[in-house]
Amino acid sequence: MDEKSVRNDVEAPELGLLFESYEAVYEFYQRYAIKEGFGITKLRSEPRDFRLMKSFSLACCKSVVVLDHNHELNPSISRMFRSNRKLDTPTKKCLQLNDRAGIRLSKTFNSFLFENGGHENMTFGEKDCRNYMDKLRRQLFCERDAQALLSYFMRM
Q: Which tens digits make up the pLDDT trace of 59-86?
A: 655 444 445 555 566 666 666 666 677 8
- Which residue in 137, 93, 131 sits closest to 112, CA to CA? 93
Same domain, 98 and 113: yes
Same domain, 72 and 21: yes
Same domain, 43 and 120: no
Last residue of one domain, picked from the residues 34, 68, 84: 84
* Residue positions counted in the chain: 156
Same domain, 3 and 78: yes
> Which of residues 35 and 83 earns the better pLDDT score?
35
Same domain, 94 and 151: yes
Same domain, 76 and 7: yes
Q: Are 72 and 63 in contact (CB under 8 A)?
A: no
Same domain, 153 and 104: yes
Per the structure, the count of domains in the chain is: 2
Average pLDDT of the chain is 75
Same domain, 59 and 127: no
- The pLDDT, as a whole number, for residue 47 is 57
Same domain, 66 and 128: no
User: What distance in Å separates the CA atoms of residue 20 and residue 145, rounded to the nearest whole number?
Assistant: 43
Specify burial of residue 113 (Cβ count, 10 A radius: 0-12, 13-18, 19+).
Answer: middle
Same domain, 104 and 49: no
- The pLDDT, as a whole number, for residue 5 is 47
Last residue of one domain, picked from the residues 55, 84, 113: 84
Q: Are 46 and 54 in contact (CB under 8 A)?
A: yes
**Ranges 36-40, 47-51, 100-104, most confident:** 100-104
The proportion of the chain whose per-residue pLDDT surpasses 70, expressed as a percent, equals 68
User: What distance in Å separates the CA atoms of residue 72 and residue 153, rounded to the nearest whole number?
Assistant: 60
- The pLDDT, as a whole number, for residue 113 is 92
Range of the domain at 122: 86-156
- 127: pLDDT strictly greater than 60: yes
User: What distance in Å separates the CA atoms of residue 104 and residue 125, rounded to the nearest whole number?
Assistant: 15
Last residue of one domain, picked from the residues 84, 114, 140: 84
- The pLDDT, as a whole number, for residue 75 is 62
Same domain, 50 and 94: no
- The pLDDT, as a whole number, for residue 134 is 92
Same domain, 13 and 53: yes
